[in-house]
Structure 1
Amino acid sequence: MRRLMKTALLATAIATSAAFAGSAYAEDSVLLPNLSYRTGPFAATGTPLMNGQRDYMTMLNERDGGVNGVILNYQECETGYNTEKGVECYEKTKAEGAVVTQPWSTGITLQVLPKSNVDSMPILAPGYGFSAMQDGKIFKWAFNPPASYWDGASMILQNISGGNLDSLKGKKIALLHLDHPFGKEPIPLLETLAKKHGFTLLPIPVGLKEMQNQSAQWLQIRRERPDFVVMWGWGAMNAGAITEAVKTKYPMNQFVGIWWSGLDADLKLVGDAGKGYRTLSWSFPNNEAKVMKDIKQLVVDPGKSMLNTSTGEFDWVFYQRGVLISAMLAEGVKEAQKHFNTKVVDREQLRWGLENLDFSEAKIKELGLDGMIPPFKTTCANHTGHSGAWMLEWDGTKFVKASDVLQADRAEIDPLVAEKAKEYADANQPWPTNEECKL
């Protein structure tokens, strides 16, 4: 335990100092904290994501002197994915002058969501959090680009049904999910779609203490013999599930995960036995992209990165997804600077920047992110952007693209967003809405 605490403190210290690398005398900076988790049962997934985020910020500071002369002060506050610690980190970084928070857990996101209105604090939750945060008129301060969990559930069903959800009629789909707000998030949409299209949804929860021993869950899967297992897993749960699937000889081509269930290291544990396992992903690693070459040259090779070079982490989906997440935040800062004609942005200005992200094909190329993310655009009314995603497949050694860009069914999702957003606002009165947004 002492070693884990020491590691977490070291990570935070290094991350803080790295933010000012090459700019020790910089006058202007902006505090962009990250509620990280490099310790605990979710560390295996959290660490490469944090490394990618940190390295992109460090690269911008090294290459460009930050964003328009403003140093990006990236700091980490270790939560261990614990909701109580996450709220403590939120309060701590808020007091230090943070202009944004990245909660990183759906549970933490739900806890700080009501605080965002009071504190005027933007919440950046890329690809996670409460899916109804898409509604920017109700959730003025919360952002979950480039795709929500309901987007993800829709795209997975689109893929496994061959584009026709009616073909799932009479089939059984098991939802192997973490028994946590994150794991429960897709259930409302999946229940709606199961009723409409005639398939059976079988939720199978995995408790936090069961993540590494899922024998009971996989015994149920063997007994129920579902046509597909959809995994909404995180951290140690993913490795446990993939190992059990191999052990019980469940067909890997019928096993599909959400984008947080696609860690390279988990599949490397089973190697060729994992062939055919698929994971939906709004990101794809591309070492030939300019941004990755710049990170390698300016951050990794000089020893300024915390990534584990011996594992090949640089090539992983999660590490490069972390890069993309920091790119979104940096672009939010840049858009705010431009619109408000200022250097050091405040929270309200950054909120505007985040709801005016435009990751067009041209912008993606300009940022050197070629092939790494599908286009998306946020607005004051749409805080998600709906980028679409690829289905990736494990080929025994790495993930490869197994589909074109998939798109969620907005006709199915938008009414549920409206219903749940209103339900949330009504239950948390007085709840301010964005009356300035006319879209």
Structure 2
Amino acid sequence: MKKTTKALAVFSMLGSWMAGTQALAEPFKVGVCYDLSKAYTFATPQVSQAALDLAKLINMQGGIGGEPVEVIVRDHGNEPQRGIECYSKLSREGVFVFDTLSTPVSLAVLPRAMEDENILMQSLVGRGDAVDGTVFDWVYPIGPTYWGQAANDVAYIKQLHDGDMSDVKVGFVYFDYPFGQEPIEILKTLAEKEGFELQLYPVPLPGSDQASVWSKVRRENPDHVIVWMLGGAHVVASKEMKRNGIPMEKYISVNWLNEVDIANIGNEAAIGIKRGTNVVGGQDVALRQEIMTELYDKGQGSGPLEKTQDVFYNTGLAMYSIVFEAARKAVENEGLPITAKSYKAGLESLEGYDANGLMAPVTVTAKDHGGGGKTRIEMWDGKAWVPQTDWISEYTDVVWEVVKKSSSTYQQ
């Protein structure tokens, strides 16, 4: 039998794969209904490619409990109705675990998944209050909500000021639509709690015109700027910051900032920029290296090699490591076949799971479907992302107060 490499030890977390000679049963299917053509294409190709690669690697080792896994990728173009059609079609084909990686589509699919008792994964998108498993019992936004991310950013800033934010000014630059607006309530609550001044700077979509925003930032001179934008808008922001003489060190981005954005800003020009993340960046990740050896070096990768070289590919590996680890737990706990109920129990038995150091550890329970909401701040040093904090989850009481207030208004 082929010797297991160190990197493949990650699959002791995903499970003990059956010997390759064992006959495989019916596949465990995951419905990946993504926007591959419109708004989210800065991330969806990398994430879906990672999902396909991970499924291939698992199947090379015999599947989960002898059952192969299958990732079915479809394009919904960020259109809710097309997302519903994707969900409905795959449901009829026996799929009961879905991901949309789109807030509009996730919002549209959510009530159907709840009614059908299917699993809706919605890491990094969708309703922030869906972490409340007592209300959203079939929805799993595993990873940090935008509320939790913003709270952790404030905790980092507080750390920089030795615990006293009374004279600190924090700017919030954000896309002026729901994605960007979501952290505002948390930031206002924390500003009152910690005594810092919060300055709001809305950016009109698509983010190509930010001149007036950064001129205002220059005049008002916040000590730190938390930024909730996507893709090319980060590049525009960096240019406006340079024009206005604003130090890059002030910039703390939402998790949607990757190596492509850094390259477009310029490796040297981006020095000092920070981001909050729940996934380790870079290529020195055990699971990624194993995929390179077992798939890409043999010409069996699921897409272009260059798509594997930024944090969004690692994000996909993290998301689908969770998906497949829950399936392994389901088989371990209740055997085959995997059902929606046994899979749900598998998710809720994840404890301290970090995919061998790939991501912040998550512990999912029946009450907390987010897994704890840990992130860390990383800073670009010109060559790589350097952690500035440990994995943290701060102000959880404040975050959960907002979660409960919001989830209490949900009516199916």
CA drift of 1:121 comes to 1.6
* AA at the equivalent of 1:374: A
**Could you list the runs of 5+ residues in structure 2 that have no partner in the other structure?**
1-19
Cα root mean square deviation, aligned: 2.4
1:220-274 superposed Cα distances (whole Å, 9 cap, x missing partner): 32343322221112233333333433343321111101212x2111011122111
Instruction: Tell me which residue corresponds to 1:219.
Output: 215
Deviations 1:360-391 (A, max 9, x none): 4xxx4xxxx43322322111111111152221
Structure having the higher helix fraction is 1
Residues 411 and 163 (structure 1), Cα distance of their counterparts in 2 relative to 1, 3 Å cut: farther
Q: Paired residue for 1:323, among 317, 342, 354?
A: 317
Give the stretch that moved more between structures: 66-75 or 197-206. Answer: 197-206
The TM-score normalised by the length of structure 1 is 0.82
**1:330 is matched by which residue type in structure 2?**
F
Match of residue 55 from structure 2: 57
* Displacement of 1:115: 1.8
C-alpha displacement of 1:306: 4.0
Is residue 293 of structure 2 the alignment partner of residue 297 of structure 1? yes
Pair 1:125–1:293, CA change in 2 (3 A): same
Rounded Cα–Cα distance in structure 2 between residues aligned with 1:381 and 1:388: 16
**Change in 2 beyond 3 A, CA 1:383/1:41:** closer
Mapped partners of 1:85, 1:200: distance in 2: 43
% identical equivalent positions = 24
Q: How far did 1:125 drift?
A: 1.4
Confirm whether residue 182 of structure 1 aligns to residue 184 of structure 2.
no
Q: Distance in 1 between matches of 2:236 and 2:100?
A: 25
**Structure 1 unaligned spans of 5+:** 1-21, 432-439
Residues 157 and 324 (structure 1), Cα distance of their counterparts in 2 relative to 1, 3 Å cut: same
Whichever residue aligns with residue 114 of structure 1, its letter is: P
Q: Distance in 2 between matches of 1:107 and 1:166?
A: 38
Determine if contact 1:212/1:237 at 8 Å carries over to the other structure: yes
CA contact (8 A) 1:41 1:235 kept: no
Q: TM-score, normalising length from structure 2? A: 0.87
Aligned residues: 391
CA distance in 2, matches of 1:156, 1:138: 27
Equivalent residues of 2:40, 2:102 under 8 A apart: no
Residue 345 of structure 1: aligned partner: 338
- Which of 296-305 and 329-338 deviates more? 296-305
Aligned to 2:348: 355
Q: Deviations over 1:127-166 (max 9, x none)?
A: 3332211211111011111322222111100101217797
Deviation at 1:331, TM superposition (A): 0.9
Of residues 17, 31, 34 in structure 2, which corresponds to 1:33? 31
2:270 to 254, 274, 288: 274
Change in Cα spacing, 1:178 to 1:299, as seen in structure 2 (3 Å) is farther
Report the CA distance shift for 1:99/1:199 in structure 2 as closer, same or farther (over 3 A). Answer: same
Residue 334 to residue 383, structure 1, CA distance change in 2 (3 Å)? same
The answer on whether the counterparts of 2:251 and 2:273 sit within 8 Å (CA) in structure 1 is yes
Post-superposition offset of 1:408:
1.9
1:401 is aligned to 387
- Distance in 2 (alpha carbons) for counterparts of 1:416 and 1:206: 24
Is the contact made by 1:141 and 1:351 (CA closer than 8 Å) also made in structure 2? yes
